[in-house]
Structure 1
Amino acid sequence: MRKTIVAGNWKMNGTSESIRALLDGITAGVPVVDGLVTLVCPPAVYLSQVKELLGNAPVVVGAQNVSAQPKGAFTGEWSLEMLQDLGCEYVILGHSERRSLFKETDADVADKVDATLTAGLTPILCVGETLTQREAGETLAVVATQVDAVVQRVGIERFASVVIAYEPVWAIGTGLTATPEQAQEVHAAIRARLAGSGMKVADKLSILYGGSMNAGNAAELLAQQDIDGGLIGGASLKADEFLTICAAAAESRK
């Protein structure tokens, strides 16, 4: 059975005090269920603090980005070796905000996925379409291109260690959400696309939904056959909402 992953992407939010309070709330009620992974991805400057505060809590830590370069004169960047040193296990890569605001290309994302796999961390590869692309009927083609760029770079066997997050760009931070049927259609298409290269990989791959999942819609989204968790933005900054999503994820595994 595929892993169910609930990943909190805190983006550029938080202070030492607010993070302490948030983690106190999360660790007080996070469910422990076989096959359920609860993950928080704070800003890089707080990774050490988060790792220390979590202690032995059943919550793992990830980063929001990383450089594909191992070291050197790359001011403002951080390496996979640094993330390993801090105890990170996952890295979010190719988020739409990285693609749009920082002009990361499919090739850039593929390089980062390759480097992350080589380092032994788990990439969360984000893919998704804009509203213009959806209205033009290009959703599945856009997502396929983004996935294919990484498969071609790392190969289908190594892709087995990747997690995908489908995040319709038009539903990120807007309060809009793809319907469960819309999300399921894309998740199923991604799995079918990968099955063409490797059925076993496709069957075992966790595909998360990342477009404004919240406490109110999580259960219905997670009930879909090919939705294996969520990449949570704003709702991950509120312990009660995040825990409600985690509880829905735990229920979906029964």
Structure 2
Amino acid sequence: MNFMASTQPENRLLGPQSDSQRTLYPYVTGTSVVALKYKDGILMAADMGGSYGSTLRYKSVERMKPIGKHSLLGASGEISDFQEILRYLDELILYDNMWDDGNSLGPKEVHNYLTRVMYNRRNKFNPLWNSLVLGGVKNGQKYLGMVNMIGVNFEDNHVATGFGNHLARPILRQEWHENLSFEDGVRLLEKCMRVLLYRDRSAVNKLQIAKITEEGVTISQPYSLKTYWEFSAFKNPTQGAVGSW
């Protein structure tokens, strides 16, 4: 599946040499990515929806990918720009491997590279319309960070993009702790994804959870969460709302 970035109209006075291809605004987008550190590494979750405007057009878009030996990348936002970022990273990892010096880029180095790419493109007024989550483990050190489309970035014990910033991180702040087991970490991510499914119109009930440890990356097969839609607030969401339609 390949989503082409939008193009500017041809400048017929200057000819095709002056044409530039860039994403002028997002076309096909993915919603939240949620990630956390657990006892043995990093866990990350994302659904598989791809929205064409407000239409949930695609239901099998994978938005988490392994990067090199030590890193895992998840992306919200424009899918074609995410594919472009993956091409950048393929080149970076290939160039690093060509040195053949026994070393390899860790998650901190990859995250730093992504912060520079996103900020550079923002300064050219040609941003990559994504928020990225980069996690990994190298030499026993866990790393988790994010960067958005204008280069704002930070590290934390848990991160989220999109609606997850508003709806998932309060849950993570309350329930996350350093010694989370794999099972407890998955349950916590599923709780966050269920909350997002109930409240985010762009979310679909088909998700993947990925983990990265010293042994490498494992990405689950897509699966669905059990949901309950009989809450009275779901049946009549505007009841009692002042000034609602």
Relative to the length of structure 1, the TM-score reads 0.30
Larger Rg: 2
Which protein has the bigger helix share? 1
Relative to the length of structure 2, the TM-score reads 0.30
Which protein has the bigger strand share? 2
